[in-house]
Amino acid sequence: MFRGGLKFFTALAGTVLIGAALVACSSKPDVPPAEAGVPELPPLYQIGAGDGLTIFVWRNAELTTSVTVRPDGRISVPLIEDLYVEGKNPSELSREIESKLGVYIQDPLVTVMVGGFVGTFPQQVRVVGEAATPQAILYRANMTVLDVVIATGGLTEFADGNNTTLVRAQGDQLAEYRVRLDDLLEDGDISANVALLPGDILIIPETFF
């Protein structure tokens, strides 16, 4: 009788602990829906370390060049050394280079073209945990959770998709929301395909059997 009672209470305790864990995991609110209406134009692209830049100087082929932004956020081009470019958009950088080249040539006209987009950290969406290929992805206008899952190659077999956490900066605070990836991927529940914002972090946990 005593053994039977002990087994019963052990099983009951285990059930209670599992239930408590599930409640804790699901206590995060769902991601708020995107506001209806005409979407705003995304902000201009900001240059980041690792970006490839082609700097075209009209009628000055010797000054036209292609460079990669260094890890310190700077570039060196003909007549200009160690120019800090990270966080600037291509138009801003074009005007700044024109100003600096104006010391050497008359009325320079500069166009900056970006390739190999990397962007700054606030422009990226990071995916960590049980994604097939965790990585940082450059945010694109109207990006959703499904876009990110496709880009990272889906989830691993150990992923607890329905308890994915989305961490989002709101002013000086960080807010956490629950994302239901299993409902989206396995059940086709399109309501689980939420909109993302630049700087979001998706944390996909491992399932505990």
Domain boundaries, the chain: 52-115, 121-209
**Both structure tokens of 99:** 């100003």
Q: Comparing C-alpha atoms, which of 88, 85, 46 is closest to residue 69?
A: 85
**Both structure tokens of 52:** 């490839």
pLDDT given at position 28: 85
| CATH number at 52-115 | 3.30.1950.10
| CATH number at 121-209 | 3.10.560.10
Range list of β-strands (E), the chain: 52-57, 65-68, 74-77, 80-84, 110-115, 124-129, 135-138, 164-170, 173-179, 201-204
Q: Comparing C-alpha atoms, which of 53, 36, 34, 55 is closest to residue 45?
A: 53
Q: Comparing C-alpha atoms, which of 173, 171, 191, 149 is closest to residue 31?
A: 191
C-alpha torsion 81→84→88→94, nearest 10: -10
pLDDT tier, 22 (very low <50, low <70, confident <90, very high otherwise): very low
Using a cut of 0.75, tell me whether the model's pTM lies above it. Answer: no
pLDDT given at position 39: 54
Q: In this model, does residue 136 exceed pLDDT 80?
A: yes
User: What DSSP state is assigned to residue 141?
Assistant: T
pLDDT in tens, 60-113: 999 999 999 999 999 999 999 999 999 999 999 999 999 999 999 999 999 999
Average pLDDT over residues 130-146: 94
Average pLDDT over residues 112-122: 91
pLDDT tier, 145 (very low <50, low <70, confident <90, very high otherwise): very high
pLDDT given at position 4: 46
- 3-state SS assignment for residue 171: coil
Average pLDDT over residues 43-53: 92
pLDDT given at position 195: 94
Handedness of CA 86, 88, 92, 94 (dihedral sign): positive
Q: In this model, does residue 203 exceed pLDDT 50?
A: yes
Interacting residues of 75 by C-beta distance below 8 A, sequence separation 6+: 53, 67, 68, 69, 83, 85
pLDDT given at position 114: 96
pLDDT in tens, 180-198: 999 999 999 999 999 999 9
pLDDT given at position 154: 96
Q: In this model, does residue 33 exceed pLDDT 80?
A: no
pLDDT given at position 43: 77
